[in-house]
Amino acid sequence: MTMEMQTPFTTSFGTQTHRDLLIVEARSGDRVGYGECVAGGQPFYSEEFTTGCNLMLQEVLLPLLVGREIGHPDEVSEILRPIRRNNMAKAAAEGAVWDLWARHQDVPLASALDDAPRERVEVGLSIGVKETDAELIEAVGTAVDAGYRRVKLKITPGRDLDMLRAVRREFPDVPMMADANSAYTLDDLKLFQAMDDLDLMMIEQPLAHDDIVDHRHLQAQISTPVCLDESVHSIDDARHAIELESCQIINIKIGRVGGLTDAKRVEALCREHGVDVWCGGMLETGVGRAHNVAIAASAGFTLPGDTAPSARYWAEDVIEPEVTMDRGYITVPSGPGLGYTVRGDRLDALTTSSFTIDQDGRSA
Ligand code: OSB
Ligand code: MG
C-alpha cells in the first residue's frame, strides 16, 4: 500500500513523495501485534525494498514463525538467524511479535524493552535537501519554533559546506548535525575538516554505505564526531566500528539491525563502551514510529532521535491517537504493547494486497 507524504523528502539518493507500506500482523488468540517494514520502495538506502521484503516474508520468514510456540520475542531473531541478512523484513515480523507479546503481558513495549524506560523522549527533526539556503533556513526556523531538540540537515555534493555555514550563521546555538547518506569519499577530507568549525553534534554516514575502515581514517582526522547509520547492520558491525574508532556515535534503526532484540544488544554494547546512541527514522507510519518511540525510551538512547510526530509526514496516520510532540518531547505511551490503536479502517482503505499464513505455513 502507498501513503502520500505531506512534503517531498530529498536526500543524496533522491526525492520521495510517497511511502510504500508493508505491515505485518501477528495473531495469537484474539490478540494482534503490529510490525512495519521500514525498507524503501526502491533499494537506494540499502539492498532491501518493499516488494522484495514482501516476498521474503511470505516465502521464507513467516512460514518459520507461524504456528510456533514462542515464549519470548528474543527467540524470533534466533529462529530467523539461519536466514542471511534481510534485516528489515525480519524486523517487521519480529516487531509484530514484540507488540503481541507486550500486549499479552499487559505491559508497554518500552517497559518490555528496558527496566526503567524514560517517560518521554527527546525529538530531533531530519530536514531534506532544499534547493536554496533561504528555503532551508526557513525550514530550520520552523523546526526550532516547533521545539525540536536538534535539527539534522541532509547534505549532498554541491549542497554541503556553504549551505551548512549559511544555516549556522543564522542559528549560532541550535543543536545541529549533518547526514550525508554515504555521498562522499576520503577524497573529500578537506570538506569535512572545514566542517569542524561549525560546531556540529555529528556528521552521519559521510562515506560508503558498506564501509567501516575509511570512516576510521576520516574520524582520525576530524574533530566532529562521526555517526554511523547505513554501515551498522549487526552487533558485530557495531563492535568493529567501536574497536576501530570509526565513529563516536551510532544511529540505531530497528529495521537495519534486524529487530528490537538486536537493537537492544547494539545499545548495550555501545553503553559498555561509552558510545552515544540515538534512534533513527525511516519515514515510518505510526506503527513503525511507535516502535521507535518505545526503544528510544531505553536508557542507552542518550541523544534526540529522528522520531518526529505523525503530522510531520502524514495527513492522517494509521494509528490513534497520532504520535504528537510537546515542546520537543514525545510522551511514551503507557498502554500495553505499542500503546496506540492501529486503525483497521485506515489499513483497509490503504491495502492493495495482503496474504495470510495459516498454522501449517500455507499462504493464502
Ligand atoms: O539516513 O536517516 C536516514 C529517511 C529515509 C532513509 C534514510 C534516512 C532517513 C531520514 C528521515 O533521515 C528520518 C525520519 O524518519 O524522520
Ligand atoms: Mg542517516
Q: Whose CA is nearest to atom 14 of ligand 1?
A: 281
- Each residue's pLDDT tens digit, 60-82: 999 999 999 999 999 999 999 99
Same-domain pairing of 272 and 233: yes
Same domain flag for 17 and 131 = no
Sign, CA torsion 148/319/70/112: positive
Residue 358 belongs to some domain of the structure: no
In a mutational test of the pocket of ligand 1, which residue from 126, 148, 149, 151 has the highest number of ligand atoms less than 8 Å from its CB? 126
Is the Cβ atom of 281 under 6 angstroms away from ligand 1? yes
Question: Is residue 257 in a domain?
Answer: yes
| In contact, 168 and 141? CB cutoff 8 Å | no
Same-domain pairing of 188 and 291: yes
Domain shared by 218 and 70, yes or no: no
Determine, yes or no, domain membership for 189: yes
Question: Do the beta carbons of residue 93 and residue 291 sit within 8 Å?
Answer: no
Question: The CATH number of the domain where 14 resides is what?
Answer: 3.30.390.10
The β-bridge relationship of strands 226-228 and 249-252 is: parallel
Cα(44) to centroid(ligand 2), Å: 12
Between 260-272 and 286-296, two packed helices, what is the crossing angle to 10 degrees?
Answer: 30
pTM score, whole prediction = 0.97
Which grid coordinates are listed for 212?
567501516
The C-alpha atoms of residue 227 and residue 246 are separated, in whole angstroms, by 9
pLDDT at 361 over 80: no
pLDDT of the residue at 360: 77
For residue range 97-143, list pLDDT tens digits in order. 999 999 999 999 999 999 999 999 999 999 999 999 999 999 999 99
Span 132-171, pLDDT tens digits: 999 999 999 999 999 999 999 999 999 999 999 999 999 9
pLDDT of residue 299: 96
Is the distance from the beta carbon of residue 282 to the nearest atom of ligand 1 less than 6 Å?
Answer: yes
- Measure the CA–CA gap between 42 and 56, rounded to whole angstroms: 15
Closest ligand, as measured to the CA of 46: 1
* 134 and 233 part of one domain: yes
Do residues 58 and 118 share a domain?
Answer: no
Domain ranges, residue 194: 112-339
Same domain (yes/no): 88, 142: no
pLDDT digit string (tens) for 189-221? 999 999 999 999 999 999 999 999 999 999 999
Strands 150-154, 124-127: parallel, antiparallel or unpaired by DSSP?
parallel
Question: What pLDDT shows up at residue 363?
Answer: 81
Mean pLDDT of 306-323: 96
Residue 245 in this model has a pLDDT that exceeds 90: yes
Ligand 1 pocket member 283 (CB < 6 A): yes
Co-location of 144 and 224 in the same domain: yes
To the query of whether residue 154 is one of the catalytic residues in this protein, the response is yes
Q: Name residues whose C-beta falls within 8 Å of residue 323's C-beta, 6 or more positions apart in sequence.
A: 286, 289, 290, 293, 307, 309, 310, 317, 330, 340
Residue 362 has pLDDT above 80, yes or no: no
Residue 186 is part of a domain; what is its CATH number?
Answer: 3.20.20.120
Q: What is the pLDDT of residue 39?
A: 97
Average pLDDT over residues 314-341: 97
The whole-number average pLDDT for the span 3-23 is: 91
Residue 364 domain-assigned (yes or no) = no
Residue 272 lies in a domain: yes
Q: At what angle do helices 87-105 and 260-272 cross, to 10 degrees?
A: 90
Structural domain count, the chain: 2
Residue 362 resides in a domain: no
Strand partners, 203: 178, 226
| pLDDT for residue 92 is more than 90 | yes
**What span, in angstroms and rounded, lies between the C-alpha atoms of 95 and 56?**
16
Hey, what amino acid is at 228? L
Q: Are residues 224 and 314 both part of a single domain?
A: yes
State residue 2's pLDDT score: 86
Q: Are residues 145 and 227 in the same domain?
A: yes
Residue 360 lies in a domain: no
Beta-ladder partners of 120 = 331
Q: How far apart are CA 338 and CA 291, in angstroms?
A: 6
Please give the mean pLDDT across all residues of the chain: 97
Burial (CB count within 10 angstroms: exposed 0-12, middle 13-18, buried 19+), residue 286: buried
128 lines ligand 1 (CB under 6 A): no
In a domain, 157, yes or no: yes
Looking at the structure, do residues 37 and 120 belong to the same domain, yes or no? no
